[in-house]
Amino acid sequence: MDIIQLLPDHVANQIAAGEVIQRPSSAVKEMLENAIDSGADNIQLIIKDAGKTLIQVVDNGCGMSEKDARMSFERHATSKIKDANDLFAIRTMGFRGEAMASIAAIAHIELKTKPHSESIGTRIIIEGSEIKEQENCAVVNGTSIAIKNLFYNVPARRNFLKSDQVELKHIIEEFQRVALAHPEVSLSMHHNNNELFHLPQSSLRQRIVAVFGNKYNEKLVPVEEETNLVTISGFVGKPEFAKKTRGEQYFFVNKRFIKSGYLHHAVTAAFEELIPTKFHPSYFLFFDVDPQLIDVNIHPTKTEIKFEDEKAIYAIIRSCVKRALGQHNIAPSLDFERDPSFDAFQSSDKKIKAPTIKVDTSYNPFENGNAKKQAKTENWEALFENIPSLHTQPKQVLIEQEWEERSLQKASFQIHQQYILSPIKSGLMIIHQQRAHERILYEQFLSLEDNQANCQQLLFPQTVELNTADMALVEGMKEEVQQLGFTWESMGSNKIAIQGIPADGTQENAQHLFEELLEQYKNNAKVESSNSDKLARALAKSMSIKKGYNLSVIEMNRLIDELFACEMPNATASGQATLITLTLEELSDKF
């Protein structure tokens, strides 16, 4: 009995969809790339409910004929490849002919398209790979594709989607990649009738600033290199703006976004000794390579590329980034040929006058000396009449001294303003002060639950400017952050005014504290936990006392007491040890 059989088309399409369309952002990527390939210079992306309800892309590209419109939803149908040799000369974005067929298998699709040469367009409606309706219609030049109810017939897949906040973040990332790769194209993005991006045609530098905020204009260092193997252009961030999160890091090969840990290492090697360890530089680097020297067909999402001579490209990247950082240093250039102070003399018409000193010739320091001395003494005594005796101290000071005397009995002390040493019965305990405080704060923030933390209002609200992705992230977790003690108002244009911060924070560092909270939250983005837990981790990390902070004896003992009042005092939320112990036997072995 034969047991091998061909899969029905709708099953094969759903399997392909599982590889190509993993989440709404995957469909956004494929549709935007198709719009770019159509020659469009104006593209609109419209999203509802983070792509779960609607994903619509409208472009003014070449459009499609009636036959092409229908063929575009067939598997392995493409206009980019004629034979196998074309695979080694690919300069377009889409080329496999699987994307639209895969999307059609798992969604409701409405397509409207018209070539510039035609007077009437085509409208097609598809549900689950089946064409329900096809007709002629009046439509503007170009193509409009609306994807509705993604994964409607694959409920298990739909259940695996994350929250709207997370899915929107992925969509914004895909949009930003296309926007950076094609600054010559005007792009806009709307989510739930709110405009998130409006990007006119511009230069690459202007596009980076438009996407990530005006503050990026001062951060960028241009990179240019041309060799027989590869031409490199773009920008890297100045070392002083490196961050703890891998944020704005982009490689583009022939305008196609790629990920490469190997090439990333080449960039970080160029920043060696310029940035602290565990910090990451920003970069926007474009490679123009002969398509015959690369293979873009090694990954379903096409985000990985195989280079023929990867080691040579590594060396070129490292050297050209290093040279760019040297040429556009970081330190002010000095002109030793001329003293700038001479400019004032050259431009001034006034004559230079010699300095003069006025002297009181009638002054005699020895005249009536005793009387003046006595008057001075009387004046000083008058100043001190209302000051209490130095031997009488306020009650609060005496209480603190008494506490300090009691605390001294515990004999805790600090070394290198980083560790606390405290003797215990079995030997010696060494506490990492920052991690210990982080653990204490983490459990305090988690224990809030329905209760809001104490908030101190700022006398003058502080403005923080965010990029669009971070703004969407902040809006999505506003309730949880307010529960921790932050209050703010949106000012539009991706700006917020911080009006209050947690009670233990310092008003001078309100902006830094909020930005640090956001960075730490993104560091924990891959942790499978609730928003409240991630924010508690992030804020504890941000507000914990850092290395170099000098603690009094009272503060050390209070920290130790609060640490051992925690449910899990031995480690931070991320699993790092807060303390170690050395037994008397281990100490004896050292001698």
Instruction: Give 157-203 pLDDT, tens digit per residue.
Output: 888 888 888 899 899 999 999 999 999 999 999 999 989 999 999 99
Residue-level pLDDT at 364? 67
Give the number of other Cβ atoms within 10 Å of residue 183's Cβ. 20
Which among 514, 515, 463 has a CA at the least distance from the CA of 491?
463
User: Cα(203)–Cα(397) distance, rounded to whole angstroms?
Assistant: 64
- What's the Cα-to-Cα distance from 547 to each of 210, 276, 437, 515, rounded to whole Å? 37, 15, 11, 20
pLDDT band at residue 336 using 50, 70 and 90 as cut-offs:
very low
In terms of average pLDDT, the best of 253-257, 351-355, 540-544 is 253-257
- Which residues, including other chains, have CB under 8 Å from residue 574's CB and lie 6 or more apart? 537
Residues 280-308: what's their mean pLDDT? 81
Question: pLDDT tens, 233-252?
Answer: 999 999 988 887 777 899 99
Asked if residues 307 and 252 have their Cβ atoms less than 8 Å apart, the reply is no
Sign of CA dihedral 499, 505, 511, 515: negative
Question: pLDDT tens, 519-542?
Answer: 777 776 656 567 778 888 888 888
The tokens describing 473, both together, are 């992230």
The tokens describing 117, both together, are 């040469």
What is the CATH superfamily name and number for domain 9-200?
A: Histidine kinase-like ATPase, C-terminal domain (3.30.565.10)
- Amino acid occupying residue 542: S
Asked if residues 581 and 424 have their Cβ atoms less than 8 Å apart, the reply is yes
- What's the Cα-to-Cα distance from 320 to each of 208, 235, 518, rounded to whole Å? 20, 11, 32
User: Cα(550)–Cα(541) distance, rounded to whole angstroms?
Assistant: 18
| Percent of the chain whose predicted confidence (pLDDT) is above 70 | 76
Residues of the chain with CATH 3.30.1370.100: 413-580
Residues of the chain with CATH 3.30.230.10: 205-327
Residue-level pLDDT at 489? 85
Residue 338 has pLDDT above 70, yes or no: no
Residue 342 has pLDDT above 70, yes or no: no
Domain 205-327 grouped into CATH 3.30.230.10: yes
What is the longest distance spanned by two Cα atoms in the chain? 132
- Which residues, including other chains, have CB under 8 Å from residue 457's CB and lie 6 or more apart? 487, 499, 500
pLDDT band at residue 388 using 50, 70 and 90 as cut-offs:
very low
The tokens describing 313, both together, are 């490209």
Domain 413-580 grouped into CATH 3.40.710.10: no
Residue-level pLDDT at 278? 79
Residue 446's φ and ψ, nearest 5 degrees, are -65, -35
Question: pLDDT tens, 298-324?
Answer: 565 667 788 888 899 999 999 999 999
In terms of average pLDDT, the best of 408-412, 540-544, 557-561 is 557-561
pTM of the model: 0.71
